[in-house]
């Protein structure tokens, strides 16, 4: 079925845009996602002062639009849902298994982790709370976290590290007291992540579709790549995980989201628990 209304995506515009988005980001947009894509792109049309999707497509695929518009388009297309302490059993596993094992094997070593697909920062900052707590109990331990995402807009929010107060309700009180600063403006209550945590996390843009992840240091102890692969098809998932594995040290851990399965994929990984893997 084709639409005539210019503010609605026609079949051919949808097909053109969804295959372009797939090639650029790996994000699969089947026909059921058409209304979602239309709503999200209407925001770009308004921002650019355009009336029709035809005008928008002409701009996107022109020299004038080019790379800058691709970045803005991917900002609105990506789904950024995240939370502090999302899937909390993963953070228990890090505290109770991964960190004691690391200290046993390498006392005094630097623990380096990557939050891959970090969205607005809740995941890497939660990880930093956990690693910082461990460091307080083990003063020879130290850590750093790299956090990357496709969306430049969401990365800016992550760097700002300011969150509505209700977002941090799930953070245990003793961590809130140590690692969060409350805004003075009680009309619009927000919190900011404390500098001692912010300085441990560095953010950068990385597209999982890049040919290799050379900008990421190798020999990482831990990669968290959660709730990202669900947007990709299986072949893309397998390619991405193989590239992630090149950045892990032998025996390093990869943690995926709870609904993500890598069963029957050809990967240098061994399962430790559901969604938790080790590099062979
Ligand atoms: C649903 S969020 C998950 C955030 C966090 N990992 C969590 O589990 O709470 C998915 C993130 O993956 C990012 N993403 C999607 N496609 C990507 C790609 N090709 N390269 C890098 N990041 C991508 C999105 O921008 C989004 O912020």
Residue 113 DSSP SS3: strand
Q: How confident is the model at residue 6 (pLDDT cuts 50, 70, 90)?
A: low
228, 240, 256: residue to mutate for ligand 1 pocket, most atoms within 8 A of CB:
228
User: What does the DSSP 8-state code read for residue 39?
Assistant: H
**Span 79-126, pLDDT tens digits:** 999 999 999 999 999 999 999 999 998 777 899 999 999 999 999 999
- Tell me which CATH code domain 88-279 carries: 3.40.50.150
**Span 233-275, pLDDT tens digits:** 999 999 999 999 999 999 999 999 999 999 999 999 999 999 9
**Span 45-74, pLDDT tens digits:** 999 999 999 999 999 999 887 888 999 999
Residue 26 CA to ligand 1 centre (angstroms):
11
**pTM recorded for the entire structure:** 0.95
Residue that wins the pLDDT comparison between 1 and 67: 67
CATH class of 11-77: mainly alpha
Helices 152-160 & 66-77 angle (0-180, nearest 10)? 70
Of 5, 80, 2, 12, the C-alpha closest to 40 is 80
- Domain residue limits, the chain: 11-77, 88-279
Q: What is the pLDDT of residue 4?
A: 41
The residues near 39 (Cβ < 8 Å, ≥ 6 apart) are: none
Residue 231 CA to ligand 1 centre (angstroms):
9
CA triple 270-28-35, angle to 5 deg? 140
């Amino acid at each position: 079925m084709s639409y005539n209304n210019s503010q609605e995506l026609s079949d051919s515009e949808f097909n053109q845009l969804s295959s372009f988005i797939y090639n650029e980001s790996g994000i699969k947009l089947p026909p059921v996602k058409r209304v979602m894509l239309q709503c999200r792109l209407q925001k770009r049309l308004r921002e650019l002062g355009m009336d029709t999707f035809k005008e928008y497509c002409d701009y996107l695929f022109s020299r004038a639009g080019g790379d800058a518009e691709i970045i803005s388009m991917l900002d609105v297309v990506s789904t950024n849902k995240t939370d502090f302490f999302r899937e909390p059993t993963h953070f228990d596993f890090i505290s109770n298994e991964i960190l004691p094992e690391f200290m046993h094997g390498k006392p005094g070593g630097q623990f380096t982790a990557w939050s891959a697909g970090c969205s607005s920062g809740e995941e890497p900052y939660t990880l930093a709370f956990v690693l910082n707590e461990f460091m307080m109990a083990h003063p020879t331990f130290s850590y750093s976290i790299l956090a990357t995402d496709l969306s430049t807009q969401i990365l800016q929010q992550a760097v700002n590290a300011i969150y509505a107060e209700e977002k941090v309700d799930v953070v245990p009180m003793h961590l809130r007291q140590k690692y969060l600063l409350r805004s003075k403006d009680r009309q619009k209550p927000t919190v900011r992540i404390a500098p001692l945590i912010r300085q441990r996390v560095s953010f950068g843009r990385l597209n999982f579709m890049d040919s290799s992840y050379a900008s990421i240091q190798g020999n990482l102890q831990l990669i968290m790549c959660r709730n990202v692969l669900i947007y990709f098809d299986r072949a893309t998932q397998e390619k991405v995980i193989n590239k992630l594995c090149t950045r892990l040290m032998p025996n390093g851990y990869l943690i995926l989201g709870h609904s993500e399965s890598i069963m029957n994929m050809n990967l240098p990984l061994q399962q430790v628990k559901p969604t938790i893997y080790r590099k062979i």
